[in-house]
Chain A
Amino acid sequence: DTGVSQDPRHKITKRGQNVTFRCDPISEHNRLYWYRQTLGQGPEFLTYFQNEAQLEKSRLLSDRFSAERPKGSFSTLEIQRTEQGDSAMYLCASSLRDRGLYETQYFGPGTRLLVL
Protein backbone atom coordinates (compact mmCIF):
# COMPACT_ATOMS: atom_id res chain seq x y z
CA ASP A 1 0.00 0.00 0.00
CA THR A 2 -1.17 2.58 -0.95
CA GLY A 3 -0.35 5.96 0.18
CA VAL A 4 0.37 8.80 -2.19
CA SER A 5 3.49 8.20 -4.26
CA GLN A 6 5.61 10.67 -6.19
CA ASP A 7 8.30 10.20 -8.77
CA PRO A 8 11.10 11.11 -8.92
CA ARG A 9 12.03 11.81 -5.32
CA HIS A 10 14.90 14.05 -6.35
CA LYS A 11 15.64 15.94 -9.54
CA ILE A 12 18.66 18.06 -10.43
CA THR A 13 18.42 20.00 -13.65
CA LYS A 14 20.08 22.90 -15.41
CA ARG A 15 18.39 26.22 -15.83
CA GLY A 16 16.27 26.31 -18.96
CA GLN A 17 15.50 22.60 -19.03
CA ASN A 18 12.00 21.16 -18.73
CA VAL A 19 11.09 18.79 -15.91
CA THR A 20 8.04 16.63 -15.25
CA PHE A 21 6.91 15.15 -11.96
CA ARG A 22 4.36 12.43 -11.41
CA CYS A 23 1.95 11.86 -8.54
CA ASP A 24 -0.13 8.75 -7.91
CA PRO A 25 -2.87 9.42 -5.36
CA ILE A 26 -4.57 7.02 -2.98
CA SER A 27 -6.71 4.94 -5.29
CA GLU A 28 -10.21 5.90 -4.15
CA HIS A 29 -9.42 9.60 -3.76
CA ASN A 30 -11.05 11.89 -6.29
CA ARG A 31 -9.14 15.05 -5.40
CA LEU A 32 -5.48 15.71 -6.06
CA TYR A 33 -3.50 18.76 -4.97
CA TRP A 34 -0.08 20.15 -5.82
CA TYR A 35 1.88 22.30 -3.37
CA ARG A 36 5.32 23.88 -3.42
CA GLN A 37 7.47 24.20 -0.33
CA THR A 38 10.59 26.32 -0.12
CA LEU A 39 13.14 26.20 2.67
CA GLY A 40 11.81 27.42 5.98
CA GLN A 41 8.24 27.81 4.75
CA GLY A 42 5.06 25.83 4.88
CA PRO A 43 3.63 24.31 1.71
CA GLU A 44 1.96 26.76 -0.69
CA PHE A 45 -0.99 25.72 -2.81
CA LEU A 46 -0.41 25.52 -6.57
CA THR A 47 -3.41 23.77 -8.09
CA TYR A 48 -5.90 20.99 -7.61
CA PHE A 49 -8.05 18.55 -9.53
CA GLN A 50 -11.35 16.90 -8.86
CA ASN A 51 -11.28 13.79 -11.00
CA GLU A 52 -9.80 15.03 -14.29
CA ALA A 53 -11.00 18.64 -13.97
CA GLN A 54 -8.53 21.27 -12.82
CA LEU A 55 -10.65 23.42 -10.53
CA GLU A 56 -8.29 26.06 -9.22
CA LYS A 57 -4.83 27.44 -9.98
CA SER A 58 -2.83 29.70 -7.73
CA ARG A 59 -1.27 32.87 -9.07
CA LEU A 60 2.01 31.20 -8.06
CA LEU A 61 1.50 28.92 -11.03
CA SER A 62 3.12 30.89 -13.82
CA ASP A 63 2.56 30.00 -17.47
CA ARG A 64 5.72 27.89 -17.33
CA PHE A 65 3.88 25.46 -15.10
CA SER A 66 1.25 23.05 -16.31
CA ALA A 67 -0.53 20.24 -14.54
CA GLU A 68 -2.69 17.47 -15.88
CA ARG A 69 -4.73 14.61 -14.59
CA PRO A 70 -5.94 13.08 -17.83
CA LYS A 71 -7.85 10.06 -16.56
CA GLY A 72 -8.65 11.24 -13.10
CA SER A 73 -6.00 9.02 -11.55
CA PHE A 74 -2.32 10.03 -11.62
CA SER A 75 -1.25 13.61 -12.26
CA THR A 76 1.80 15.25 -13.81
CA LEU A 77 3.29 18.64 -13.08
CA GLU A 78 5.56 20.05 -15.77
CA ILE A 79 7.84 23.04 -15.41
CA GLN A 80 9.16 24.47 -18.66
CA ARG A 81 12.33 26.55 -18.95
CA THR A 82 13.22 26.03 -15.31
CA GLU A 83 14.68 28.88 -13.30
CA GLN A 84 16.76 28.77 -10.13
CA GLY A 85 13.78 30.14 -8.22
CA ASP A 86 11.88 26.96 -9.05
CA SER A 87 14.13 25.02 -6.69
CA ALA A 88 11.80 23.67 -4.01
CA MET A 89 10.03 20.59 -2.74
CA TYR A 90 6.93 19.79 -4.80
CA LEU A 91 4.32 18.00 -2.75
CA CYS A 92 1.28 16.13 -3.96
CA ALA A 93 -1.72 15.34 -1.78
CA SER A 94 -4.97 13.51 -2.33
CA SER A 95 -8.33 13.45 -0.58
CA LEU A 96 -11.85 12.14 -0.82
CA ARG A 97 -14.27 14.96 -1.59
CA ASP A 98 -17.38 13.74 0.13
CA ARG A 99 -16.30 14.65 3.66
CA GLY A 100 -16.85 18.39 3.36
CA LEU A 101 -14.82 20.34 5.89
CA TYR A 102 -13.62 17.05 7.35
CA GLU A 103 -11.85 16.26 4.11
CA THR A 104 -8.26 15.44 5.01
CA GLN A 105 -5.43 15.67 2.54
CA TYR A 106 -2.82 12.92 2.62
CA PHE A 107 0.57 13.85 1.27
CA GLY A 108 3.18 12.03 -0.73
CA PRO A 109 6.93 12.09 0.02
CA GLY A 110 7.54 14.99 -2.34
CA THR A 111 9.90 15.65 -5.24
CA ARG A 112 12.87 17.79 -4.35
CA LEU A 113 13.94 19.91 -7.32
CA LEU A 114 17.27 21.66 -7.61
CA VAL A 115 17.84 23.96 -10.57
CA LEU A 116 21.50 24.76 -11.20
Chain B
Amino acid sequence: AQKITQTQPGMFVQEKEAVTLDCTYDTSDQSYGLFWYKQPSSGEMIFLIYQGSYDEQNATEGRYSLNFQKARKSANLVISASQLGDSAMYFCAMREGGDKIIFGKGTRLHILP
Protein backbone atom coordinates (compact mmCIF):
# COMPACT_ATOMS: atom_id res chain seq x y z
CA ALA B 1 0.00 0.00 0.00
CA GLN B 2 1.16 3.50 -0.72
CA LYS B 3 2.34 5.43 2.28
CA ILE B 4 1.62 8.83 0.72
CA THR B 5 -1.25 9.39 -1.69
CA GLN B 6 -1.69 12.49 -3.76
CA THR B 7 -4.85 12.04 -5.80
CA GLN B 8 -4.55 15.11 -8.02
CA PRO B 9 -2.02 14.54 -10.82
CA GLY B 10 -2.61 18.07 -12.08
CA MET B 11 -4.51 21.22 -11.17
CA PHE B 12 -5.25 24.49 -12.92
CA VAL B 13 -5.96 27.52 -10.77
CA GLN B 14 -6.56 31.16 -11.59
CA GLU B 15 -3.95 33.57 -10.28
CA LYS B 16 -4.80 35.11 -6.87
CA GLU B 17 -7.14 32.30 -5.95
CA ALA B 18 -6.44 29.96 -3.05
CA VAL B 19 -5.57 26.37 -3.87
CA THR B 20 -5.67 23.17 -1.83
CA LEU B 21 -3.41 20.25 -2.70
CA ASP B 22 -4.55 16.96 -1.22
CA CYS B 23 -2.40 14.47 0.65
CA THR B 24 -3.35 11.42 2.66
CA TYR B 25 -0.88 9.18 4.45
CA ASP B 26 -0.77 5.74 5.94
CA THR B 27 1.12 4.94 9.12
CA SER B 28 0.62 3.02 12.33
CA ASP B 29 3.24 5.08 14.15
CA GLN B 30 2.12 7.65 16.71
CA SER B 31 5.15 9.82 16.09
CA TYR B 32 5.74 11.05 12.55
CA GLY B 33 6.38 14.18 10.56
CA LEU B 34 4.78 15.48 7.38
CA PHE B 35 6.46 17.71 4.81
CA TRP B 36 5.58 19.56 1.65
CA TYR B 37 8.17 20.32 -1.02
CA LYS B 38 7.91 22.34 -4.22
CA GLN B 39 9.82 21.31 -7.33
CA PRO B 40 9.96 23.91 -10.13
CA SER B 41 11.00 22.91 -13.62
CA SER B 42 14.64 23.54 -12.67
CA GLY B 43 14.46 20.37 -10.58
CA GLU B 44 15.45 21.56 -7.13
CA MET B 45 13.25 20.40 -4.25
CA ILE B 46 12.31 23.39 -2.10
CA PHE B 47 11.13 22.80 1.46
CA LEU B 48 7.85 24.59 2.16
CA ILE B 49 6.32 23.49 5.44
CA TYR B 50 6.44 20.85 8.18
CA GLN B 51 3.82 19.38 10.54
CA GLY B 52 4.66 17.08 13.45
CA SER B 53 2.13 14.46 14.50
CA TYR B 54 1.97 15.89 18.01
CA ASP B 55 1.59 19.50 16.90
CA GLU B 56 -1.81 20.74 17.98
CA GLN B 57 -1.87 23.73 15.67
CA ASN B 58 -1.78 23.62 11.91
CA ALA B 59 1.59 24.74 10.55
CA THR B 60 1.78 28.00 8.63
CA GLU B 61 4.63 29.58 6.66
CA GLY B 62 3.72 32.77 4.88
CA ARG B 63 1.19 31.96 2.16
CA TYR B 64 1.46 28.23 2.91
CA SER B 65 -0.58 26.45 5.54
CA LEU B 66 -1.03 22.78 6.27
CA ASN B 67 -4.55 21.55 7.01
CA PHE B 68 -3.72 18.65 9.32
CA GLN B 69 -6.58 16.26 10.11
CA LYS B 70 -4.98 13.51 12.13
CA ALA B 71 -8.00 11.23 12.45
CA ARG B 72 -8.47 11.28 8.69
CA LYS B 73 -4.70 10.97 8.09
CA SER B 74 -4.86 13.99 5.88
CA ALA B 75 -2.27 16.75 5.44
CA ASN B 76 -3.46 19.08 2.71
CA LEU B 77 -1.38 22.07 1.61
CA VAL B 78 -3.21 25.35 1.21
CA ILE B 79 -1.64 28.14 -0.83
CA SER B 80 -3.37 31.46 -0.40
CA ALA B 81 -3.41 34.16 -3.07
CA SER B 82 -1.66 32.03 -5.70
CA GLN B 83 1.01 33.58 -7.91
CA LEU B 84 2.35 32.63 -11.32
CA GLY B 85 5.59 31.56 -9.65
CA ASP B 86 3.69 28.91 -7.72
CA SER B 87 3.44 26.82 -10.89
CA ALA B 88 5.45 23.69 -10.09
CA MET B 89 5.25 20.10 -8.88
CA TYR B 90 4.31 19.75 -5.23
CA PHE B 91 5.25 16.70 -3.19
CA CYS B 92 3.84 15.56 0.12
CA ALA B 93 6.23 13.47 2.21
CA MET B 94 6.38 11.68 5.55
CA ARG B 95 8.99 10.55 8.04
CA GLU B 96 7.78 7.78 10.37
CA GLY B 97 10.50 7.86 12.97
CA GLY B 98 13.20 6.39 10.83
CA ASP B 99 15.38 8.79 9.01
CA LYS B 100 14.37 8.63 5.41
CA ILE B 101 11.47 10.56 3.93
CA ILE B 102 8.86 8.84 1.77
CA PHE B 103 7.41 10.97 -1.00
CA GLY B 104 4.12 10.89 -2.83
CA LYS B 105 3.89 11.02 -6.61
CA GLY B 106 3.21 14.72 -6.64
CA THR B 107 0.67 17.17 -8.00
CA ARG B 108 1.50 19.48 -10.89
CA LEU B 109 0.03 22.91 -10.23
CA HIS B 110 -0.54 25.38 -13.07
CA ILE B 111 -1.38 28.96 -12.16
CA LEU B 112 -3.25 30.74 -14.95
CA PRO B 113 -2.84 34.50 -15.52
Contacts and interface: CB of A to CB of B under 8 A. Distances in A.
Interface in B50-99: 50, 52-53, 91, 93, 95, 97-99
Interface in A1-57: 31, 33, 40-45, 48, 55-56
Contacts, number: 61
A91 B45 contact: yes
A115 to B, nearest CB: 18
Given A55-B99, A56-B99, A107 B31 contact: no
Assign chain B's interface to a size class.
Answer: 20 to 34
B88 to A, nearest CB: 13
Contact of A105 (B32, B47, B104, B105): B47
A109 B102 contact: no
Assign chain A's interface to a size class.
Answer: 20 to 34
Contact of B43 (A55, A56, A112): A112
Interface of B: 4, 31-33, 35, 37, 42-47, 50, 52-53, 91, 93, 95, 97-106
Given A48-B100, A55-B99, A102-B50, A108 B91 contact: no
A31 B100 CA distance: 11
A48 B98 CA distance: 12
Given A42-B93, A42-B104, A42-B106, A101 B44 contact: no
A31 B33 CA distance: 17
26 contacts: A33-B100, A41-B105, A41-B106, A42-B91, A42-B104, A42-B105, A43-B45, A43-B91, A43-B103, A44-B103, A45-B100, A45-B101, A56-B100, A93-B45, A101-B53, A102-B50, A104-B35, A104-B50, A105-B47, A107-B44, A107-B47, A109-B42, A109-B43, A110-B43, A110-B44, A112-B43
